[in-house]
Structure 1
């Protein structure tokens, strides 16, 4: 009796939390396809469940009463939404097409399940008074929505504005008492107590109080109290009862057909909604996931003596088998079809200036918004090269998985007192929409990803793959303080950045914001004041990608770009020559690769200079250095008036010009030069953008022609291009030696 009492109490609090996390308005926004799949996935399993019940009834020695077929049917048709989202997250299918369909269908199944519970329990308890009980439950629900909810809203709004501490301290206790009172009311009118607790949780206005309740109870109720309910379910199972009623073969047959019910319904839905057969089977497997609601329905039938021990055990075993086999079967047989064959523009260098540039901008908090938007603003979208920005707000998933859909499915909260995450999301979305309104060549699509920090990079990478973006912009994990130092904001942000850099399906830009927004705002469209950007070029795929992105900014009349190329001095050349003579065989492969990279760099720089020769806002500088120390000295000697430094990370490349810089690196993800620019000991307070090119480690497709400033119809033929560049290089070597002197290309 003690265990049963604690189990009922834990169940009441659990469904109360479920109601708190559920967004009732989301059910009004589902499409016809989702609604059709959900209805098919309920009616067909219900029919199969009723047939299996009577099949077992025919061969059982101790048959149950006829009303038990409805309990079997409902338990078989329900899909456990919280359990399903965890399985999808483990299978990396959470943001796939099949994952989104499965979660939407499971969400509708949850609502249908509560309707069935509200109707089924009064019918099972007493058929004569069932009509009165159902009508009473309907009136109770209407009173809760139209009387109790507005009253709670007014109390919360008044108390939150006047005394927030009092509100945080006592209101959670009142809410728990209200859940118990509502449970007692629905139990008294003939329904189950969990119906009242669920409805009360559903009407609570979403806001800080809901966050407070979830923070306080999210570990205690599911982690400590709910296992008592599962223990009570286990105590009712007696496998010897199965052998007494029928043969084991019949029981296994019933379990197998129960597992096939959802798969059959999904296959039927495939023919009506033009789904692939493979996706239909996968959806059916996912819909077999059962949760606590199925056990609740079976327990109600057992408590009311509608289901005897044999029928209870058979269905509980079937539910356990269905849920336990979903994850291993899905991981073994289902792989989402890769979209890589239609996704070629994975780098900025490949995205020519007459094609659309697609960027995925990630932000954690409102602190990151102004800098990211300013960086996008100076990227200079044009009529021939518009920009599509996917603004992704990254939110940590700390509660149960059912909270994921609530935040994901609502862009704006209609609550008077929205939660902190919703308020931040609204501010972020408003800022990006204002940026879109001010720039008619930019299309912004706000998104929200809610997942644990450990797997957040998977959501970012899969979204980048799905949206076919060329660049992912990530905020640095440190922010600028008032005294000019860089302070850690969240250590988990760094882990996310490292994982994205290692697994990204496109190029990645790591942005260190040191007040770029202020510099951009100071430059109006007709102002003489300009933003001064510097691109530091040492060589390699990442530096070429950084230069390609920097050249997109040149078209903005407010931007002046200085490209500083570091070249090896005489000591480096002599050292490399001596080293190659001594270690010819060991250095042959590296020498050939370095020679090829140097040729690509030289062609890339020459074409950049050729295409920007008439642009007075572009300057080109060459500096001769012999080692990493001289490189740092040359950077520190530059004018400290640059608002943004653009550098390549240097993935997969080794250069004597950065030798020794990585040994004392504080942030290896920024590369050798980027870490120097962000270092607290360095006297620069400019923003920094570190670019990593997709596939920079294998150097694929790096010999292709760059696209700096070349519009459609402006390409030279290969012969003329080679002659012009060759003559340009000959004139350069004969007329001047560029070292530390600035050379404005517009004066050439």
Structure 2
């Protein structure tokens, strides 16, 4: 890199971090998750405003590959934290409501999304029609566990019956959605001529579950005091990067390997260690790496040429995304005798898509499942469905009383939340 490129990159990153923090803080002042402001910061620097003049000045074309690399690391760290927070105990503690709501809130929006793909096929379809239909179905089925958990934490609802069920539903949704996405990636032949490698995904998964997980459990049991020493931290980073690299190499996306390592880390007796990992990785990720991801995502969003046809497509996308998720979750909750207001609140929470949706959309864009025009509309859908959760919850349940709110928690990242069951 030349001196000019290095200077441009460092100054651009400084501006990006500052803008993301300012808009994130503004979003929180308005009762929204910080992710809303941070996503808007990325879009504001993209081609939607001023035809990309701001991003071109701050980030010349020669620095864009470096931004993509930083964004990839940020997404891998975020997915590791999501896996770290995933807890099967939530599912066991929710009874039969969570599995029923989760399956219903995946199946209905997935089916409606696949049907919507047929409508959008002529204007936005890709060469692989089957992959396009399946991917749109998955994109409509996403629930962002981390953002949902943060909303519940901010409202003091993580230990309420509704909060426990919502967290359990979102955790099941995450796993189901990632599994569906992994299947679509595998079937699409994204690995190219080395497609045979996808067969290694099964032994890799089994090895992580039945070899790596027990070994980590034994190691944790032998430690007198589990603290995040430099050696342990380095070991986790090495494992995170290698696991992400392994799933990328076999033909899946690196996000699956990062998530899987976080999911197989021991839960019982490791609370302080996991909190330390969460804090250290979360601060760096949320302050620098994820804003870079939002910038990279925002550079692909161009709404400047949105016409009446595009607005009509956006309206259809929002109708299917919101209606499918809401009706699926609400019907299953009512079938399990949950009160109407609580069922509506749960369905509203399940519509929260946040950063998880953006990651899925970027996977689709990278692998050719989406074109840029539809990608831009889907990003708008992700922002709208996340932004509407707070106001709708307030309308359904009222504002939480000051005495019910938890003590302020450290801001550990976009969508990152205090682990359920632990004090913020």
For these two proteins, the number of residue pairs brought into alignment is 348
The C-alpha deviation readout for 1:465-485, integer Å capped at 9, x for no partner, is xxxxxxxxxxxxxxxxxxxxx
Distance 1:283 1:131, change over 3 A: farther
1:456-475 to 2 correspondences below 5 Å: none
Task: Assess if the C-alpha contact under 8 Å between 1:396 and 1:450 holds in 2.
Answer: no
Give 1:73's aligned residue: 137
Q: Equivalents in 1 of 2:145, 2:115: separation in Å?
A: 26
The Cα shift of 1:332 comes to 2.8
Q: Equivalents in 2 of 1:239, 1:96: separation in Å?
A: 40
Task: Assess if the C-alpha contact under 8 Å between 2:314 and 2:381 holds in 1.
Answer: no
Task: Assess if the C-alpha contact under 8 Å between 1:24 and 1:202 holds in 2.
Answer: no
Distance 1:209 1:270, change over 3 A: closer
SS in 1 for 2:235: helix
Give 1:286's aligned residue: 349
Give 2:359's aligned residue: 296
> Does 2:79 correspond to 1:64?
no
Give 1:2's aligned residue: 66
Give 1:261's aligned residue: 324
Q: Equivalents in 1 of 2:357, 2:78: separation in Å?
A: 14
Q: Equivalents in 1 of 2:400, 2:71: separation in Å?
A: 44
The Cα shift of 1:151 comes to 3.2
Give 1:97's aligned residue: 161
Q: Equivalents in 2 of 1:130, 1:36: separation in Å?
A: 38
Question: Could you list the runs of 5+ residues in structure 2 that have no partner in the other structure?
Answer: 1-64
Higher relative contact order (CA 8 A, sep 6+): 2
Q: Equivalents in 2 of 1:234, 1:325: separation in Å?
A: 21
Q: Equivalents in 1 of 2:407, 2:232: separation in Å?
A: 26
Q: Equivalents in 1 of 2:400, 2:154: separation in Å?
A: 18
1:572-611 to 2 correspondences below 5 Å: none
1:559-638 to 2 correspondences below 5 Å: none
Distance 1:157 1:95, change over 3 A: closer
The Cα shift of 1:88 comes to 2.5
Distance 1:403 1:137, change over 3 A: farther
SS in 2 for 1:238: coil
Q: Equivalents in 2 of 1:35, 1:80: separation in Å?
A: 16
Give the alignment's Cα RMSD to 1 decimal: 3.1
> Does 2:382 correspond to 1:319?
yes
The C-alpha deviation readout for 1:611-634, integer Å capped at 9, x for no partner, is xxxxxxxxxxxxxxxxxxxxxxxx
Question: Could you list the runs of 5+ residues in structure 1 that have no partner in the other structure?
Answer: 339-393, 409-448, 452-748
Give 1:197's aligned residue: 258
The Cα shift of 1:164 comes to 8.1
1:41-190 to 2 correspondences below 5 Å: 41-58=105-122, 60=123, 63-65=125-127, 66=129, 67-126=131-190, 132=196, 134-156=198-220, 160-161=223-224, 168-190=229-251
Give 1:39's aligned residue: 103
Q: Pick from 270, 287, 293: which aligns with 1:223?
A: 287
SS in 2 for 1:404: coil
The Cα shift of 1:104 comes to 1.7
SS in 1 for 2:369: coil
Distance 1:173 1:294, change over 3 A: same
Q: Who wins on radius of gyration, i.e. which is larger?
A: 1
Task: Assess if the C-alpha contact under 8 Å between 1:241 and 1:309 holds in 2.
Answer: no
SS in 1 for 2:241: helix
Task: Assess if the C-alpha contact under 8 Å between 1:125 and 1:304 holds in 2.
Answer: no
SS in 2 for 1:87: helix
> Does 2:408 correspond to 1:450?
no
The Cα shift of 1:155 comes to 4.5
Q: Pick from 284, 292, 311: which aligns with 1:248?
A: 311
Q: Equivalents in 2 of 1:311, 1:50: separation in Å?
A: 14
Give 1:678's aligned residue: none
Task: Assess if the C-alpha contact under 8 Å between 1:94 and 1:100 holds in 2.
Answer: yes
Task: Assess if the C-alpha contact under 8 Å between 1:16 and 1:198 holds in 2.
Answer: yes
SS in 1 for 2:74: helix
Give 1:331's aligned residue: 394
SS in 2 for 1:9: helix
Q: Equivalents in 1 of 2:214, 2:282: separation in Å?
A: 26
SS in 2 for 1:236: coil
Distance 1:233 1:133, change over 3 A: same
The Cα shift of 1:143 comes to 0.8
The C-alpha deviation readout for 1:323-358, integer Å capped at 9, x for no partner, is 1111112213433999xxxxxxxxxxxxxxxxxxxx
Q: TM-score, normalised by structure 2?
A: 0.73
Q: Equivalents in 2 of 1:164, 1:280: separation in Å?
A: 40
1:638-677 to 2 correspondences below 5 Å: none
The Cα shift of 1:131 comes to 8.3
Q: Which runs of 4+ in 1 moved over 6 A?
A: 127-131
Q: Equivalents in 1 of 2:257, 2:333: separation in Å?
A: 37
Q: Equivalents in 1 of 2:400, 2:229: separation in Å?
A: 48
Q: Equivalents in 1 of 2:167, 2:236: separation in Å?
A: 29
Give 1:426's aligned residue: none
Q: Equivalents in 2 of 1:120, 1:71: separation in Å?
A: 7
Task: Assess if the C-alpha contact under 8 Å between 2:325 and 2:351 holds in 1.
Answer: yes
The Cα shift of 1:211 comes to 3.8
The C-alpha deviation readout for 1:92-121, integer Å capped at 9, x for no partner, is 544443333222211211121221232222
SS in 1 for 2:423: strand
Distance 1:16 1:257, change over 3 A: closer
Larger deviation, residues 17-26 vs 40-49: 17-26
Larger deviation, residues 116-125 vs 181-190: 116-125
Distance 1:200 1:247, change over 3 A: closer
Q: Equivalents in 2 of 1:72, 1:2: separation in Å?
A: 29
The Cα shift of 1:243 comes to 3.4
SS in 2 for 1:289: coil
Task: Assess if the C-alpha contact under 8 Å between 1:118 and 1:134 holds in 2.
Answer: no
The C-alpha deviation readout for 1:573-606, integer Å capped at 9, x for no partner, is xxxxxxxxxxxxxxxxxxxxxxxxxxxxxxxxxx
**Higher fraction of helix:** 2
